[in-house]
A and B are shown apart, each in its own frame.
Chain A
């Protein structure tokens, strides 16, 4: 059971959050210009990394804010949290 450091509320139990999958997948600005394959890439394809992964979490039973988390999926350690719109910490790139 993770302890997640919500950038707005502080450390809270995982049960207050819901996971939103991979982060930094930007919705295409002009979806109509995309081929089926390009759209499918955006819609369905996810990396599912073993190791350092950037992902989105929602403090759904708290402040309702979405934010980003850097997590090592091999040991579940959360290495960093940052707000939407902020640049991911470079040291984990």
Chain B
């Protein structure tokens, strides 16, 4: 096996050999490697196939910008993870990784045929080709695309790992632990700012940490040595927290940032167990220093995507940090000085290399150094083509014309096994723009830079466009002193020597003799978009960068265009003949690098997914086979399945028992608002549609609450407990919103009213007993209470004691039966319930759930707000005009009840429906029409509630129908998938119109 690890470095522990599997084959690396460096050490460049053309692709970079080396980790159904960048994945014993997007395998790939038909796959290919015929989409196109263009496989079972969230507050947050970040963190922490420094890598130091060029020195030391000292220093600072392996995912307003900390991803499986895998830090910082550095740009030339073509600086890092050379015969193709550092490093390690430089000439310390070492340099030359299928083996260069627009002279063919490219550097302004910052364009080296730095946020170092070390350190120190309003002198006497770049030449799309249509100049490696695609999009009329991006899919892959955005912009600007700075740029959205869902949800999984509210009777319901229904956050018994009944049978039994003898419902979840104050009556007058001033103490009244737009908002019974004291009930789901709305009116519109609102929903538990035998059961529970209709009539309230515990008893009914609601302090709720059940035994007192409650009230035509109403129903639409006071001058929503739209007679109105076949049960939500023949079919309304009533022995339904009030007796049709159901419009009250049962 070839070994490309050619020297020892302090970052690779050669005493710790690590074995791992890649595409099923076992390899070895060392502790300190990433998967990418270990693969390169084994001579492996080819790691995947491109998305569209399935061209062989190799490792390009050494960081988060990697477009090609994305892999699938593991194979277990619950733990496998797609789209992991090999350049960031730390190697561990037993790691299993495989290449993505290549079937059947990376070396022989059937989709590679796309490469030969590529003239047929232009920009917007997917939009253009797969649009028609329409019927082909589901059965032909989609499966085909999915099969051949897999971007990894999702796990198919729940993630067993543990994730965590943590909130922290700091005075200063420094993002990025390179040289400028370290300086900023040190200055802040030494001046009494509580500081957090985060860096996504395993160790601090950025790219300076492996810098070993003699022409770059600080205080007479190699810059890397100087920086190591600084790192030792800051580790001693007590108010500085350092988080490595931590990357900022999102920078929101008000300096609220999300950071992902990797805790176990670098550990072998047995050491990961029972540990938190990743932690999401939710950071509030008073001030934020962005020191995220810059990314090297590729160059856009024909066949610039072959395996073995990397970013020049990445070649340097693999060599000086990991001890691995990317080839033995390397060519560096550049337009700037930084490739010369790589060249000199390679030369020192004995790796043969030559330089192709776009610039006509250049003169800096680095260039002199390279020349003195005898490194061959081709100035004013351009790479025009590369060769080699699975790996580059040679390339062609040509001389550039004076203006750089064409090539001149003869092709020169050079052999190589690796090509490093450097098109300059792009400052990582993502964090700055995510926070809302704007950008400026610097023409000189064609970079976008953070515009104004606010008082809360600043960019320093190369992400601010400062590239040479002297500039970086001096500017960082000055800016941080100003930003933090301090006078730190630590770097006053620091002596920096570095090479200064004097010459620049930038060409976004490099010239070629071959017509563009016959070249493959890739811009976005992962999504396979080429310079040709961008030009085609412009030709077809796209102008906005956001449109071109989407049409060509440039910058839309998992790397979010970190390498491609600038070139796309540059080519658009050149083609359209506009200045690049005026084009604007695409928006950088969070997350900066992909996050796992696990990190986002943290501990809120399984039973912690949402808050669950249970009544004090909950345990009894569980023990008695209740099936539960979620109502808001509440768990309410839906029905009680007795002896293995299904839902229908249970509901039929429960509702029959409630009408024949007695039923009991846990009504604790209804919203309860305690209203007190001398203006309580006036307040109720204003919030309900009906009149409240004359309600006697000890009496209850049903109320309907509207929105200011006249639409029904909530309903419930309110009881006058004493002169200035009421207890309001609301719907279960509406409780919080009603309270909020009432507070709004009290605090903002009517602050003069003396009224106090308190939510007491959780303070009281409620057992509601209904049915002809309910009075007898009440009598057993409260033997001293006079239950006669004279003393305790319908819609009234009494207080009595149950074994010394005070109870509030309301005689109110939502079922149409004689009915009592017993309220008790919640800690006694369970006892109350059990005592009711015990007392009701001889009367077949049957617990019933929400489904039976809904059925019983539907028999009586009582509405449920939110089921029979949807925010577009007025009281009149519900045929409830009787509850709207004509006398009151004003109440919430009154004025809207006679707007031109609300008095329309053809509004949808609540009606009853009876099916011609009494056994046919309608589907809630089903559409209602009068004629199925004329098309388009006119929709009149829909079914809102539907049940089979055991008490009436027929199907009943409530519905909203256009002009429904005038349609009683009319035949309508409910068209279903396989039949039409005939119905007749009826009254909304199906049972006991005379309300005899209330006083049975």
Task: Assign chain A's interface to a size class.
Answer: 20 to 34
Q: Give the CA-CA distance A30 to B889 in the complex, in Å.
A: 9
Q: Give the CA-CA distance A56 to B747 in the complex, in Å.
A: 12
Within 8 A of B (CB), among A12-42: 18, 20, 26-28, 30-32, 34, 36, 39-40
Given known contacts A1-B253, A39-B895, A84-B748, A32 and B743 CB-to-CB distance under 8 angstroms = no
Within 8 A of A (CB), among B722-773: 740, 743-744, 747-749, 751
- B2 interface residue (CB < 8 Å to A): no
Q: Identify A43's interface contact among B256, B890, B896, CB under 8 A.
A: B896
Q: Identify A1's interface contact among B256, B436, B709, CB under 8 A.
A: B256
Q: Give the CA-CA distance A13 to B50 in the complex, in Å.
A: 44
Contact residues in B for A75 (Cβ distance below 8 Å): 436
Q: Mark B246-264, 1 if CB is under 8 A from A, else 0.
A: 0000001110100000000
Task: Give how many B residues have a beta carbon under 8 Å from the other chain's beta carbons.
Answer: 22
- B900 interface residue (CB < 8 Å to A): yes
B253 and A58 within 8 A (CB): no
Q: Give the CA-CA distance A27 to B900 in the complex, in Å.
A: 20
A31 and B751 within 8 A (CB): no
- A10 interface residue (CB < 8 Å to B): no
Within 8 A of A (CB), among B77-92: none
Which A residue sits closest to B747, measured CB to CB?
A: A66
Q: Taking the nearest CB of chain B, how far is it from the CB of A35, in angstroms?
A: 10
Within 8 A of A (CB), among B878-926: 889-890, 894-896, 899-900
Q: Taking the nearest CB of chain B, how far is it from the CB of A1, in angstroms?
A: 4
B709 and A43 within 8 A (CB): yes
Q: Taking the nearest CB of chain A, how far is it from the CB of B975, in angstroms?
A: 36
- A64 interface residue (CB < 8 Å to B): yes
Contact residues in B for A58 (Cβ distance below 8 Å): 740, 743-744
B740 and A18 within 8 A (CB): yes
Q: Taking the nearest CB of chain A, how far is it from the CB of B166, in angstroms?
A: 14
Contact residues in B for A3 (Cβ distance below 8 Å): 254, 256, 284
Q: Give the CA-CA distance A56 to B748 in the complex, in Å.
A: 10
Contact residues in B for A9 (Cβ distance below 8 Å): none
Q: Identify B890's interface contact among A26, A31, A36, A40, CB under 8 A.
A: A31
Q: Which of B254, B256, B284, B899 has the most CB of A within 10 A?
A: B254
Contact residues in B for A76 (Cβ distance below 8 Å): 253-254, 436
A40 and B899 within 8 A (CB): yes
Q: Taking the nearest CB of chain A, how far is it from the CB of B847, in angstroms?
A: 34
Contact residues in A for B708 (Cβ distance below 8 Å): 27, 43
- A92 interface residue (CB < 8 Å to B): no
Which B residue sits closest to A26, measured CB to CB?
A: B749
Given known contacts A31-B894, A34-B895, A76-B253, A65 and B747 CB-to-CB distance under 8 angstroms = yes
Q: Give the CA-CA distance A58 to B749 in the complex, in Å.
A: 14
Q: Mark B318-342, 1 if CB is under 8 A from A, else 0.
A: 0000000000000000000000000
A32 and B436 within 8 A (CB): no
Q: Taking the nearest CB of chain B, how far is it from the CB of A12, in angstroms?
A: 11
Contact residues in A for B709 (Cβ distance below 8 Å): 43
Q: Taking the nearest CB of chain B, how far is it from the CB of A87, in angstroms?
A: 15
Q: Mark B427-449, 1 if CB is under 8 A from A, else 0.
A: 00000000010000000000000
Contact residues in B for A60 (Cβ distance below 8 Å): 740
Which B residue sits closest to A85, measured CB to CB?
A: B751
Q: Give the CA-CA distance A30 to B895 in the complex, in Å.
A: 9
Q: Give the CA-CA distance A85 to B748 in the complex, in Å.
A: 8
Contact residues in B for A64 (Cβ distance below 8 Å): 740, 743
Which A residue sits closest to B284, measured CB to CB?
A: A3
Given known contacts A32-B894, A34-B895, A1 and B744 CB-to-CB distance under 8 angstroms = no
Contact residues in B for A2 (Cβ distance below 8 Å): 253-254
Q: Taking the nearest CB of chain A, how far is it from the CB of B167, in angstroms?
A: 9
Q: Give the CA-CA distance A39 to B747 in the complex, in Å.
A: 22
Contact residues in A for B252 (Cβ distance below 8 Å): 1
B253 and A36 within 8 A (CB): no
Q: Give the CA-CA distance A58 to B736 in the complex, in Å.
A: 13
Given known contacts A76-B436, A84-B747, A36 and B899 CB-to-CB distance under 8 angstroms = yes
Contact residues in A for B895 (Cβ distance below 8 Å): 28, 31-32, 34, 39
Contact residues in A for B748 (Cβ distance below 8 Å): 56, 66, 84
Which A residue sits closest to B750, measured CB to CB?
A: A27
Which B residue sits closest to A78, measured CB to CB?
A: B254
Which A residue sits closest to B749, measured CB to CB?
A: A27
Q: Give the CA-CA distance A50 to B740 in the complex, in Å.
A: 28
Q: Mark B196-237, 1 if CB is under 8 A from A, else 0.
A: 000000000000000000000000000000000000000000
Contact residues in A for B744 (Cβ distance below 8 Å): 20, 58, 66
Q: Taking the nearest CB of chain A, how far is it from the CB of B555, in angstroms?
A: 26
Contact residues in A for B749 (Cβ distance below 8 Å): 26-27
Q: Give the CA-CA distance A60 to B735 in the complex, in Å.
A: 13
Within 8 A of A (CB), among B277-330: 284
Which B residue sits closest to A64, measured CB to CB?
A: B743
Q: Give the CA-CA distance A65 to B744 in the complex, in Å.
A: 8
Within 8 A of B (CB), among A53-93: 56, 58, 60, 64-66, 75-76, 84-85
Q: Give the CA-CA distance A3 to B167 in the complex, in Å.
A: 14
Q: Taking the nearest CB of chain A, how far is it from the CB of B820, in angstroms?
A: 33
Q: Taking the nearest CB of chain A, how far is it from the CB of B287, in angstroms?
A: 14
Contact residues in A for B900 (Cβ distance below 8 Å): 36
A66 and B743 within 8 A (CB): yes
Q: Give the CA-CA distance A26 to B751 in the complex, in Å.
A: 13
Q: Mark B368-404, 1 if CB is under 8 A from A, else 0.
A: 0000000000000000000000000000000000000
Q: Identify A84's interface contact among B253, B254, B751, B894, CB under 8 A.
A: B751
Q: Taking the nearest CB of chain B, how far is it from the CB of A31, in angstroms?
A: 4
B254 and A1 within 8 A (CB): yes
Q: Give the CA-CA distance A28 to B284 in the complex, in Å.
A: 42
Q: Taking the nearest CB of chain A, how far is it from the CB of B69, in angstroms?
A: 34
Q: Taking the nearest CB of chain B, how far is it from the CB of A72, in angstroms?
A: 11
Q: Taking the nearest CB of chain A, how far is it from the CB of B755, in angstroms?
A: 14
Q: Taking the nearest CB of chain B, how far is it from the CB of A59, in angstroms?
A: 10
Within 8 A of A (CB), among B233-247: none
Q: Give the CA-CA distance A48 to B909 in the complex, in Å.
A: 34
Q: Give the CA-CA distance A32 to B748 in the complex, in Å.
A: 20
Q: Mark B968-1000, 1 if CB is under 8 A from A, else 0.
A: 000000000000000000000000000000000
Q: Give the CA-CA distance A84 to B284 in the complex, in Å.
A: 29
Q: Give the CA-CA distance A66 to B709 in the complex, in Å.
A: 21
Q: Give the CA-CA distance A2 to B900 in the complex, in Å.
A: 41
Q: Give the CA-CA distance A64 to B284 in the complex, in Å.
A: 24
Q: Taking the nearest CB of chain A, how far is it from the CB of B42, in angstroms?
A: 46
Q: Give the CA-CA distance A1 to B253 in the complex, in Å.
A: 5
Contact residues in B for A66 (Cβ distance below 8 Å): 743-744, 747-748
Which B residue sits closest to A39, measured CB to CB?
A: B895
Q: Which of A26, A31, A36, A65 has the most CB of B within 10 A?
A: A31
Q: Taking the nearest CB of chain A, how far is it from the CB of B170, in angstroms?
A: 14
Which A residue sits closest to B900, measured CB to CB?
A: A36
Which B residue sits closest to A44, measured CB to CB?
A: B709
Q: Give the CA-CA distance A27 to B436 in the complex, in Å.
A: 36
Q: Taking the nearest CB of chain A, how far is it from the CB of B325, in angstroms?
A: 47
Q: Give the CA-CA distance A3 to B283 in the complex, in Å.
A: 12
Contact residues in B for A40 (Cβ distance below 8 Å): 899
Contact residues in B for A27 (Cβ distance below 8 Å): 708, 749
Contact residues in B for A18 (Cβ distance below 8 Å): 740
Q: Taking the nearest CB of chain B, how far is it from the CB of A9, in angstroms?
A: 15
Contact residues in A for B254 (Cβ distance below 8 Å): 1-3, 76
Q: Taking the nearest CB of chain B, how far is it from the CB of A11, in angstroms?
A: 10
Q: Can you give 10 contacting A-B residue pairs, CB < 8 Å?
A: A1-B254, A2-B254, A18-B740, A20-B744, A27-B708, A32-B890, A39-B896, A40-B899, A64-B740, A66-B744
Considering the complex of A and B, which 5 residue pairs feature the smallest CB-CB distances, nearest first?
A31-B895, A1-B256, A66-B747, A3-B254, A27-B749
Instruction: Known pairs A66-B748, A84-B748; list 12 more (Cβ under 8 Å).
Output: A18-B740, A30-B890, A31-B895, A32-B890, A32-B894, A43-B708, A58-B744, A64-B743, A66-B743, A76-B253, A84-B747, A84-B751
